[in-house]
């Protein structure tokens, strides 16, 4: 199937590793021009760019930090200066929370939980606002927001899980409402589609060590899934890329779960 991404300009945030690296690489395999957004690891972003090139696409690296409107504007400007267009935005970046030991309570979480909550919502909204005019002008665009199964499932075990998962889930839940509403306002100006991809706990090259120290959470999620395993980042990336492609002509305003059936 021709996904119609050859020569289209794609912005992927948080693309220096993990899920974002796989998403960028799959876009590269479709011949896209990929802007690799990264926060603090230019060497890792360069590795992603090399993978995109090896897959068959072109890549440009550009700094971007959630909660920093200045970097959002510079990311958009870099894309427009490079190719003169923005066809796809993948909002993959997030401010993370680590794992907490059993027994901790969400109300005891400190260390800027309010800032993380705001950045995970407002950063995505701001960048989407900035790319919307370019998409409206061309009458074509695709936006995909990465969410989390925590929004609908919560944490599998009540006594262990990511630090601040309650706040992280709240931030991701906001993206579902935002995407659903913007599907209507963007859709009236052309073939502009917006969706949310909802991964379950997913294996990436970066989180294997974290999973090994997650108090058995990864194993319990895998055991619960109909496929008996966790998905890997490439499997999630393929769904993202389809939704962001010209082959997707009718899916918009939806939330698509990718969790090996869990």
Alpha-carbon torsion, ordered 225, 254, 63, 85, to 10 deg: 140
Q: How crowded is residue 194: how many other Cβ atoms within 10 Å of its Cβ?
A: 31
CA atoms within 13 A on the CB side of 51: 19
Map tokens 């935002």 to a residue. 178
Are 216 and 186 contacting, i.e. CB atoms less than 8 angstroms apart?
A: no
Q: Render the burial of 37-75: b for 16+ CB within 10 Å, e for the rest.
A: bbbeeeebbebbbebbeebebbbbbbbbbbbbeebbeeb
End-to-end CA, the chain: 27
**67 closest CA partner among 10, 117, 11, 12:** 117
| Contact between 15 and 48 (Cβ < 8 Å) | yes
Query: Packing angle between helix 42-55 and helix 18-29, nearest 10 degrees?
Result: 30
Active-site residues: which are they? 168
Pairing, β 255-258 against β 161-162? unpaired
């Amino acid at each position: 199937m021709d996904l119609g991404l050859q020569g289209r300009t794609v912005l992927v945030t948080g693309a220096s590793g993990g899920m974002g690296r796989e998403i960028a690489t799959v876009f590269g395999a479709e011949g896209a021009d990929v802007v690799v957004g990264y926060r603090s690891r230019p060497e890792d972003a360069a590795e992603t760019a090399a993978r995109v090139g090896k897959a068959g696409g072109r890549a440009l690296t550009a700094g971007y930090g959630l909660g920093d409107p200045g970097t959002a504007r510079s990311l958009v400007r870099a894309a427009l200066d490079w190719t003169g267009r923005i066809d796809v935005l993948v909002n993959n970046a997030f401010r993370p929370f680590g794992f907490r030991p059993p027994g901790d309570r969400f109300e005891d979480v400190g260390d800027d939980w309010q800032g993380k909550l705001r950045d995970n919502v407002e950063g995505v909204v701001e960048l989407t606002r900035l790319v919307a005019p370019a998409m409206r002008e061309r009458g074509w665009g695709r936006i995909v927001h990465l969410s989390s199964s925590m929004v609908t499932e919560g944490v599998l075990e009540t006594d262990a899980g990511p630090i601040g998962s309650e706040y992280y889930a709240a931030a991701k839940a906001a993206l579902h409402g935002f995407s659903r509403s913007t599907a209507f306002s963007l859709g009236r100006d052309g073939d502009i589609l917006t969706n949310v991809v909802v991964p379950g706990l997913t294996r990436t090259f970066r989180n294997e060590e974290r999973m090994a120290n997650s108090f058995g959470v990864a194993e319990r999620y895998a055991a619960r899934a109909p496929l008996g395993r966790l998905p890997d980042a490439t499997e999630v990336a393929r769904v993202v890329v389809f939704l962001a492609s010209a082959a997707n002509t009718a899916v918009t305003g939806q939330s698509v779960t990718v969790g090996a059936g869990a």
